[in-house]
């Protein structure tokens, strides 16, 4: 058997494996969609009280409170965040796909974006200002200390015999 034939047979085996895996993934997705739709029917009349007792175990939080679109997108992806923003508060919707899988989503409330008042952000602004001042003081101290020294960087000599 020639190398070309062996290579072709290996490629065919890999392709067959890829197709088999894709079929398995498709079947798993169909099953997950079916399970999610059944669960959505169960949740639709129940509100949020039963939500803790259903669903697959996950390291993801069961509840995400007061989040911006950007924080939802960071955690679950842009398309998930966009879909969540379209959900009317007060009822279950789904399945909504993220990089983690399929989700059933309940939006409690939606609050319009607004510019916070200074009294709300004052502690953060003060902390950032103090931090910036500290950095400037440290950099000035290092510059002052460095000015008292002469720093010379010597080139490494190479050994003519191939070593250093």
pLDDT in tens, 53-102: 666 777 777 778 888 888 899 989 999 999 999 988 888 888 888 888 88
* Model pLDDT, residue 31: 76
Instruction: Report phi then psi at 102, rounded to 5.
Output: -105, 145
Considering the entire predicted model, what is its pTM? 0.52
pLDDT in tens, 125-164: 999 999 999 999 999 999 999 899 888 888 887 776 766 5
Cα–Cα distances in Å, from 160 out to 64, 154, 156? 65, 18, 12
* Model pLDDT, residue 162: 62
**3-state secondary structure labels for all residues of the chain:** CCHHHHHHHHHHHHHHHHHHHHHHHHHHHHHHHHHHHHHHHHHHCCCCCCHHHCCCCCCCCCCCCCCCHHHHHHHHCHHHHHHHHHCCCCCEEEEEEECCEEEEEECCCCCCCCCCCHHHHHHHHHHHHHHHHHHHHHHHHHHHHHHCCCCCCCCCCCCCCCCC
Share of the chain above pLDDT 70, in %: 89
Give 97's strand partners: 102
Could you give the CA distance from residue 48 to residue 26 in angstroms, rounded to a whole number?
30
Greater model confidence, 111 or 62: 111
Instruction: Report phi then psi at 96, rounded to 5.
Output: -110, 125
User: Once rounded to an integer, what is the mean pLDDT over residues 101-122?
Assistant: 86
């Amino acid at each position: 058997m020639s190398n070309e034939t062996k290579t072709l047979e290996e490629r065919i085996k890999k392709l067959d494996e890829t197709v088999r895996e894709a079929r398995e993934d498709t079947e798993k997705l169909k099953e997950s969609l079916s399970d999610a739709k059944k669960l959505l029917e169960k949740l639709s009349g129940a509100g949020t009280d039963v939500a803790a007792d259903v669903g697959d175990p996950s390291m993801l939080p069961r509840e995400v409170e007061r989040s911006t679109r950007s924080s939802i997108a960071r955690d679950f992806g842009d398309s998930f965040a966009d879909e969540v923003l379209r959900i009317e508060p007060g009822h279950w919707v789904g399945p909504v796909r993220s990089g983690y899988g399929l989700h059933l989503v309940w939006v409690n409330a939606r609050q319009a974006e607004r510019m916070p008042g200074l009294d709300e952000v004052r502690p953060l602004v003060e902390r950032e200002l103090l931090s910036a001042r500290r950095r400037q003081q440290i950099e000035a101290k290092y510059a002052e200390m460095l000015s008292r020294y002469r720093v010379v960087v010597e080139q490494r000599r190479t050994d003519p015999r191939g070593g250093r």
